[in-house]
Each structure stands twice: as C-alpha cells, then as structure tokens.
C-alpha cells in the first residue's frame, strides 16, 4: 500500500500544524511520499510565505534596502517552526544561497518556489524522510511547460528504491536547472504527478476543509460535504468555479485510476471526500454539487430559415475562433442561436466579432447581453432520478429568477443554467435548498 | 381595405362548399383577390383532384388506355360542381387542351397544376371576378426556382387596376410558359405572394379547421385554438412539425407586415387564428403551442479539457457540414458536446461522420443514440412568466419521461426538449395538460 500525501499551506503554517501533520503521517505507514506546500496563514491577516517571497524578490530586483529585512522575516518564520518542533535543523546555508540567487536575479518563479523548498527541508528533518528536491524530478521544458512523460520517467526511477520521501510541491525545473512553478495552488499538481509516477493506491490531499463541498461556503453557510465524487463531476464543478483542488491536479491520477481523498488536517477523523474514476455507490443527494461563475455574455443571432442552412453554426463559431475566443454554450432554437462566451475574452473584440458574424452569415438580428452567470448543477444521481429538471426550475421560479439559458446534453450528468449575475447567489441558494436542505 | 383570400381543397371540394365560399366572399367586399386550391376530398375515402391528375398523367405518359377514362372522371368532378352551382360555364375547351398537352408530355407539374387552374375558372365564373392565370403572374426560373422579385413586379403591375380577381394557387410558369408548381400545399404560398404584391391589409387563409391549434389533434383530442400567434412562433411550431400553413407561405407576407388570418370555411363565425409580426396582446395561455418531430439521433462526444480547446466545437460541426448534414442542436456540458441531427440524413453517413470526428478532434468517447424526438414548447408568454421551465419538467417527470436534452437560448421564446421517440406523444400530452387543461 502506497499513499502520496499532500499538505496545503494552512496545514503547515506553524509548528503546531506541523505536529498535526506529523501525527497524521505516522498514524499510517503507507503514507510514504509527502508533498508539502509553503507555510500559509496562521491567522486571518497573516501573510503567506509565498507572498513574502514575491515581495522580497521584488525588493531585491529593485535593489531596495528592505530586501535583507524581508528575507530575515521569512527566515524567522521558518525558524519559529523549527524551534517549535524542537529540531536542530539549520537553514543558514539555504538562506545564504537564496540571498545570493535573489541578488543575481534568479527569477520570480525561483523565488516563489523557495517556500515549498524550505518547508520540505523542515518536513524531511521532522519526519526522518529523505528530502528530494522537486527541481531534480519535476521537469519543465525551456518554455516553462511541464513535461509529463519525461517527469514520469525520471520520477519513477528516482523513487523506485526510496521508501519514504518529502518532495516539495509547486515547482520543478528544466533539465538545466532553471526553476519553474505551476500556477498558484500547484502543489496539488505535484502530488498528483508523484502519485501517478509511483502508481500510488491513494492520493491524500490534506487541506483545511473536511472535503469537497456541495456548494460554495461563501454563498451557503456550512454546506454539506460530498462523500464521493467522480473525476467527471469534479472537473465540471471545478470548471464552474468550485475550488479545493488545482484543476490540473486531476488529470495525472485520473489516467491511472488513482482515487484522491480530500482530508482536513484539523479534523483528521473526518472521512473527507473521495474523488474516484467511477463508483456504483449511490450518492447521498440527487445532486453532487452546484457551482457557477459570473462574467459571461451572450450573443444572440437570429436569421430566417437558419435551420435550413447547412454550415450556419460552424461559420458563426469560426468567427469566434478566429478572434481566439472560446465559446461555453451554443443553445439554439429554430432560426436562432446564442453563443455564450467569457465577457473578459469577448469585450475587447466585440466589434470584430459582430462584424465577422455579419460578414459570415448575414443575420437578421444580433443582440448582446452581458453580466450573465452560468450555474452548473452536477450529479451522477440525476441520471437515475426523474424530475430533477422540474425541481431545479420550480425552485428558481419560486426564487423569482429569470432563466436566460438552459443547456442539458445527453450526458445527463449536468444541467447548465444561465441567469443574470445579480441572481447568481440566489440561484445557487435556491438549488442547494431544494436538493439538500429539504432532504436533511 | 384589400384582402387576399385563399381557400383550401376541402373548402372547394363540392358545389355545396363552393356556395359557402361564395357567401364568405360576398359578405365582405374587401375580399377582392381569391386564390383557390384544387378540389379536395368530399368524404374520407375520396380522392383529391390533384392525385387524380397525377394518376391520369402517368397513364398518358405510359400510353395506357385508361388515360381517357381517368380524364373523364376528373372532368365529371368539375362538371358536378358547375351543375351544382347552376353555372352555364363549359370546360370542354380547357379539357381538350389538357388532353392534348398530356399526350405531348407536358410534364407532371403541368398536370398537377390543372386542378387549381380549372377550379379557378369555375370560381371566377361563379363570383363574376376576373380570371388571371397564375402562369402569367407567378414566375419561375428555368431551374424551377421561384423568382420572388420578378413575380412581385409583374403581379403588382397586372393587378394594379383589377378590382377583383381569381388567381389559381400552387403553380406559376417560366417567362417562356413552362409550368412549375410549388411543393404540395403551395396554394398558401401563392396567396402570400399575391398579398405581398398588392400590399394587402390581410391575408385570409380559409381551411377546414378553426385556426392554428395549440397541439397536434392526432395527439390531443380537440385541442384549443390559438387566437394570435407571431410569425416567429408559427415558424418555430411549423418547423417542428405543426402544419396548417405551407412553411414558405410565411415569408412573403412577413416581410410586409401583413397579418394572416386562418379561418374555417365550415365555421365562418369562428375568428380563427391571427398570425402577426408582433403583438402586445397577452396570450391566453403561457404557451402558444407545443409541437415536435420524431426521428432524430444524438452524437455524444466527450474529451477531457475540451472546453480549453478553442475551435473544438467548430471542428466537430465542420465534419457534419462536410457530409452535408445539418445539425439541430448542440447542447454542451463541460468537456462534452452532443450533436442532434435528423436520423434520415445521418444514418447512411454515420461511419464517415464518426471517423471524421475522430480525425478532427481525437475524442475520448463518442456515443450515439437513435430514435429520439424533439419537442418545442413555444410561446411569447414564456418570457413574462417565471416558472415555465419548472412546470414543463415537473409535468414530464410526473409522466415518467426521461429528458434527454434541454435547450433554451436567450430568445426565451421556446424550450426544446429531447425525449425518446416512444415518449413523444406522452410528452406532448403532459405539456398540453399542464399549461392548457389546468387553466381551462
């Protein structure tokens, strides 16, 4: 049994948190490969070490005096953890290398990566695990793109005879040693890559929540935790703005059929959420989750006899493609089609797109509406339960929400609903209430 | 005030019906331009004159003896009307021209057109209106395509100083005199073209039903009549299989903003259905109508990270386009899209399309489902009424219908629902009941 365990920043923000993590790891000897994040916030207004590193590197780049002070603050932060854990570890050497590298302009990504690097050093010392620098095993190409196959090769070879190890998350390097990072939250990705490389039985992702939530806690107070979610459902919910796990973290383990278990460092008894390829376990509620995003706009196109014109839809979509705009949904009626796009992508190219549509298909009417939100109601249970759509739309009607778009394809795994931005939170609440609150 | 009045075949099947038509026309002197169809069925198993003409022409073309007998039967049919009306009109000359033309191979379209031509002769004599041969004023090009602009020019000039006239429906001719017909039911089109040319105030279309029905009477017993429907709504319902009016009949009058009034020759007191460009009249029910078609299939495509791939949707649609297949709907989820097409168009090209999709976008999964029906719930009243979608889907759930697809664009004028072919009638019934029966 081999598990990869990744701990988020808040799980490693202080010595106290480190001890919780240590207890968790020691409680199960299959927890052999540990992926730490950089120390997160200890309290609400605290600063994450990664942010301190960015600020410090900025000061170094601008040759501002406070650079040294800022670096010392970071070192103190780590020292506090070391002291709190009663370790004899010294990071003097590491910090002098970092100071020199910052002065030499090693780059922002290098700077940012030191948070995980140093935390990994402490974690390895604390656990008595081998420290493996991610720069040696997580490979990027010269353009800063992650090289999946090469990494898999190097990483699996490197770990083959290593029983236990700490590999810092978030970063890697080119084979020439230039450090690159994943996007923010990228330690999740590292954990997933390591799990894939060693063909782990489970990838545990320890955070500060007891799993993946049915709805955004900023909108719903104390939402229910999802017990089991499929990769597909998760991908749909995360695409729609639900967060816990970095989106790119899904693909490496999914390919290998390795389940992910989202756990809470502060509540290690909670079972958290299992993310699996597929399951015949009946979901607790009809819906697995509801999520959404604001900031869409719709371009409505009307043309008499459009439906008789082969290639109409393709020509319209090509106009968007030529402007580099990806579309989200294309609901269509008779002689009408609507294209939903991200407002931010669309806004500056609006006039080119409209002109392009006129040239391409000579529409009778083109109308735009902005400030729209999309809500995705996702759940494998919806397939088996008749009346889901009826419940959703009745609930939205009772909440006085105007439904701007409905899109349900034959996956029967989700229904996507367009509403006004201003109705977004109300819509999420209405859907959560009808499926979860009425059933609790 | 100028009205164009068109009468369908059943309104002109016998002398008795002709008398009803005569009463209707004489009751309103603005009914100045009359478009007759060919005589339709007098009783259930009767044969329409147009079908008799096709059969007769076939016999002539194959030089079969019964040709003369068949032609005589047709002539008797007209003579019965002439006698019943007490007219002194003789069609001997017309029939000898027809006999000669049939022998000379004048063509099937010419043959079919004689039903309206002859009925027009009788109608003109009966009303004392001028007879204008459609072959002189409804213009087709050499390929048999209707020439809208040329027709408008000739027709409006020809009718400028004609107070009252009968113009047979269904056919026209090239400027060289070769007769062409519209597709079956094309008298509706003629009426619409005439109404446009003379800028009529109203185009009355007299049939054997008291207007456009909320649902198909073959599915719903005695469905309600729609009082007012917009061209848009009508186009949507007729596209989806609802029939009363020939589809091409809408466009000429729509361009001019001329309302159409569907009326019942047998119930002339009924107000029928007004088809208008737009109206602020509140509809009687939330939905204006419900209609649908069977015989669709869906092609479901799944690919990880599809949503991040600009051009994905366009490439898929291009595959269909290259095979000459038009798509009906493209509902999409996250990383999934489904293409709904007509089964009849798709079936023989199925394998080419699937291969094309694989080449174009390397999908993870492609699945097909056939024998699907699409149901369109249409109504301008849906815009103003919240909860329409909820009522629809609750009703479908109560009727145990699995919803395969939902598509609602921002027109808010319709919701299109995919169900199994076998659930089609039940779905229409459920929707009719929830919106109409519960409100009566």
Whether residues A392 and A355 fall in one domain: yes
Specify if B281 maps to a domain: no
Q: Does A307 touch chain B (CB under 8 A)?
A: yes
Whether residues B298 and B221 fall in one domain: no
Nearest-CA residue of chain A relative to B298? A410
Q: What CA–CA distance (Å, rounded) separates A81 from A87? A: 9
User: Which residues from chain B sit within 8 angstroms of residue A386, using beta carbons?
Assistant: 396-397, 400-402
Whether residues B255 and B314 fall in one domain: no
Specify if A282 maps to a domain: no
Q: What is the mean pLDDT of residues A115-144?
A: 97
Q: What is the mean pLDDT of residues B271-292?
A: 88
Q: What pLDDT shows up at residue A244?
A: 62
Asked if residue B57 has pLDDT above 90, the reply is yes
Q: What pLDDT shows up at residue B249?
A: 84
> Phi and psi of B230, rounded to 5°?
-85, 160
Q: What is the mean pLDDT of residues B238-261?
A: 82
Binding residues of B for ATP, as ranges, are: 6-9, 207-208, 218
Whether residues B145 and B48 fall in one domain: yes
Partner residue opposite B327 with nearest CB, options A313, A405, A410: A313
Using an 8 Å Cβ cutoff, are B132 and B162 in contact?
A: yes
CB contact residues (below 8 A), chain A span 371-390, against chain B: 376, 386-390
Specify if A237 maps to a domain: yes
CATH of the domain at A180: 3.40.1160.10
Whether residues B263 and B340 fall in one domain: no
CB contact residues (below 8 A), chain B span 39-58, against chain A: none
Nearest-CA residue of chain B relative to A392? B390
Partner residue opposite A393 with nearest CB, options B235, B326, B389: B389
Nearest-CA residue of chain A relative to B308? A326
Whether residues A263 and A390 fall in one domain: no
- Between chains, do A408 and B331 touch, taking CB under 8 Å as contact? yes
CA A199 vs. chain centroid, Å, equals 22
Q: What pLDDT shows up at residue A249?
A: 84
Q: What is the mean pLDDT of residues A199-208?
A: 95
pLDDT tier, B244 (very low <50, low <70, confident <90, very high otherwise):
low
More confident residue, B409 or B212: B212
Question: In sequence order, which residues have a C-beta less than 8 Å from that of residue A51 and are 6 or more positions away?
Answer: none
**Domain extent for A111:** 3-276
Given B276, B306, B321, which residue is the final one in a domain?
A: B276
More confident residue, A360 or B280: A360
Asked if residue A440 has pLDDT above 70, the reply is no
Nearest to A306 by CA among A340, A354, A338: A338
Q: What is the mean pLDDT of residues A147-153?
A: 96
Nearest to B184 by CA among B113, B273, B261, B120: B113
Q: What pLDDT shows up at residue B151?
A: 97
Regarding an ipTM greater than 0.90, the answer is: no
Q: What CA–CA distance (Å, rounded) separates A231 from A288? A: 12
Three-state SS string over B32-99 comes to EEEEECCCCCCCCCCCCHHHHHHHHHHHHHCCCCHHHHHHHHHHHHHHHHHHHHCCCCCCHHHHHHHH
Partner residue opposite A337 with nearest CB, options B326, B389, B409: B409
Q: Which two tokens stand for residue B102?
A: 């049939």
Q: Which two tokens stand for residue B92?
A: 């001997």
CATH of the domain at A397: 3.30.2130.10
Specify if A281 maps to a domain: no
Whether residues B110 and B189 fall in one domain: yes
Mean pLDDT of chain B: 92
Given A276, A308, A336, which residue is the final one in a domain?
A: A276
pLDDT tier, A227 (very low <50, low <70, confident <90, very high otherwise):
very high
Strand partners, A341: A297, A327
Asked if residue B440 has pLDDT above 70, the reply is no
Number of domains in chain B: 2
CB contact residues (below 8 A), chain A span 243-272, against chain B: 251, 254
Q: What is the mean pLDDT of residues A396-408?
A: 90
Nearest to A417 by CA among B301, B299, B409, B387: B409
B98-114 pLDDT per residue, tens: 999 999 999 999 999 99
Specify if A283 maps to a domain: no
User: Tokens 């170094």 identify what position?
Assistant: A60
Q: What is the mean pLDDT of residues A378-394?
A: 85
Using an 8 Å Cβ cutoff, are A14 and A42 in contact?
A: yes
Q: Does A427 touch chain B (CB under 8 A)?
A: no
Partner residue opposite B405 with nearest CB, options A240, A338, A408: A408
- Between chains, do B326 and A314 touch, taking CB under 8 Å as contact? no
Mean pLDDT of chain A: 92
Whether residues B341 and B308 fall in one domain: yes
How many beta-carbon pairs under 8 angstroms link A with B?
212
Whether residues B133 and B206 fall in one domain: yes
Whether residues B38 and B124 fall in one domain: yes
Asked if residue B411 has pLDDT above 80, the reply is no
Given B216, B246, B276, which residue is the final one in a domain?
A: B276
Which stretches of A328-387 are DSSP H helices? 343-346, 350-361
Using an 8 Å Cβ cutoff, are A179 and A139 in contact?
A: no
Share of chain A above pLDDT 90, in %: 76
Whether residues A148 and A294 fall in one domain: no
Specify if A378 maps to a domain: yes
- Mean pLDDT lowest for which of A196-200, A289-293, A381-385? A381-385
Measure in Å the smallest separation between the Cα of B162 and chain A Cα atoms: 33
3-state secondary structure at position B370: strand
A233-246 pLDDT per residue, tens: 888 888 887 766 77
Q: What is the mean pLDDT of residues A382-405?
A: 87
Q: Rounded to whole angstroms, what are the CA distances from A359 to A288, A298, A331, B318?
A: 44, 19, 22, 18
Strands lying side by side in the sheet with B289-302: A327-329, A336-342, A289-302, A365-378, A414-420, A405-408, B405-408, B414-420, B365-378, B289-302, B336-342, B327-329
The segment with the largest mean pLDDT, out of A63-67, B149-153, B309-313, is B149-153
Specify if A284 maps to a domain: no
Instruction: Identify the DSSP state of A221.
Output: S
Asked if residue A14 has pLDDT above 90, the reply is yes
Specify if B57 maps to a domain: yes
Whether residues B230 and B305 fall in one domain: no
């Amino acid at each position: 049994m081999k598990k990869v365990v990744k701990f988020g920043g808040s799980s490693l923000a202080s010595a106290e948190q480190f001890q919780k993590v240590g207890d968790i790891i020691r409680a199960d000897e299959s927890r052999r490969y540990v992926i730490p994040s950089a120390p997160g916030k200890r309290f609400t207004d605290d600063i994450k070490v990664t942010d301190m590193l960015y600020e410090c590197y900025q000061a170094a780049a601008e040759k501002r005096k406070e650079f040294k002070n800022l670096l010392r603050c970071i070192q103190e932060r780590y020292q506090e953890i070391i002291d709190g854990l009663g370790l004899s570890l010294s990071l003097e050497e590491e910090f002098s290398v970092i100071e020199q590298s910052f002065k030499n302009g090693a780059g922002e990504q290098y700077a940012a990566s030191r948070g995980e690097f140093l935390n990994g050093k402490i974690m390895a010392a604390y656990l008595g695990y081998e420290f493996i620098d991610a720069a040696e095993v997580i490979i990027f190409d010269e353009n800063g793109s992650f090289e999946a196959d090469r990494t898999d090769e190097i990483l699996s070879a490197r770990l083959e005879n290593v029983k236990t190890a700490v590999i810092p998350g978030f970063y890697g390097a080119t084979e020439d040693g230039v450090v690159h990072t994943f996007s923010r939250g990228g330690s999740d990705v590292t954990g997933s890559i390591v799990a894939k490389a060693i063909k782990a039985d489970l990838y545990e992702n320890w955070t500060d929540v007891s799993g993946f939530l049915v709805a955004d806690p900023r909108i719903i107070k104390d939402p229910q935790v999802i017990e089991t979610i499929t990769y597909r459902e998760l991908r749909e919910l995360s695409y729609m703005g639900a967060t816990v796990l970095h989106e790119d973290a899904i693909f490496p383990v999914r390919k290998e059929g390795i389940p992910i278990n989202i756990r809470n460092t502060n509540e290690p008894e909670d079972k958290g959420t299992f993310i699996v390829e597929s399951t015949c376990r009946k979901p607790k509620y009809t819906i697995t989750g509801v999520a959404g995003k604001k900031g869409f706009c719709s371009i409505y196109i009307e043309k008499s006899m459009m439906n008789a014109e082969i290639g109409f839809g393709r020509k319209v979509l090509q106009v968007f493609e030529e402007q580099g705009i990806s579309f989200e949904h294309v609901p269509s009626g008779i002689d009408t089609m609507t294209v939903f796009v991200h407002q931010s992508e669309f806004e500056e190219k609006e006039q080119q797109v409209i002109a392009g549509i006129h040239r391409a298909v000579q529409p009778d009417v083109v109308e735009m509406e902005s400030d729209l939100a999309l809500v995705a109601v996702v759940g494998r249970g919806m397939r088996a339960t008749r009346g889901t759509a009826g419940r959703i739309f009745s609930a939205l009607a009772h909440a006085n929400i105007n439904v701007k778009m409905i899109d349900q394809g034959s996956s029967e795994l989700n229904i996507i609903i367009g509403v006004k931005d201003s109705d977004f939170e109300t819509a999420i609440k209405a859907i959560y209430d009808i499926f979860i609150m009425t059933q609790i």
